[in-house]
Amino acid sequence: MDENAQQHLSALRQLITSAKAMPMSSSCVVNRGEALDLVAKLEAAMPAELDQARGVIGAADQHVREAEQRAAEIIADAERRAAELAEAEPLAVRAREQAEQSRTEAAAEAEALRTETDAFVDARMASFESVLHKTLSQVTHARERLSERSRLDVDDGHEEPLAGPGGTGRD
């Protein structure tokens, strides 16, 4: 996760953790402006996370292209060697065997490179998915808490305590 986004999440957690507790309740008073400012900063940091993911995907695509190019070079080299060996008649049988062996090895190496690349891309994407899921969960939870608290504000502008489980906040 981007260090900036992580700092904003930590600041939001600290704001909620250090909020003034309401007596005889699990509710607390949180400064709405500070909380909303941190949520806005988190939302602004998310494009950086997405850019990072695009970079990982771009690097993986480049790795795949390089692996395919290498596989094509191996196959072309094998075919060239097979053609050279086929020119010498007494060695034609041996040349065909070596060409087939070279093709098999090149195909196996290309498949191994493709499999390795796919595993690398999948691992990076799974890691990024996990980071995004955690960030989204934290932001959603923070927004829910803000929303719950916002519904308890009175018309005169004074903040009221958050309601505990099943409570009204006016105990």
What separation in angstroms does the CA of 149 have from each of 28, 128, 141, 160? 9, 32, 12, 8
The DSSP symbol for 26 reads S
pLDDT in tens, 33-52: 988 888 888 778 777 777 78
pLDDT recorded at residue 89: 65
Arithmetic mean of pLDDT, 108-132: 90
H or E stretch at 21: strand 20-21
CA distances from residue 67 to 63, 64, 92, 100 in whole angstroms, order as listed: 6, 5, 31, 21
Predicted TM-score of the model (pTM): 0.33
> In whole numbers, what is the pLDDT of the chain averaged over residues?
81
Domain ranges of the chain: 3-150
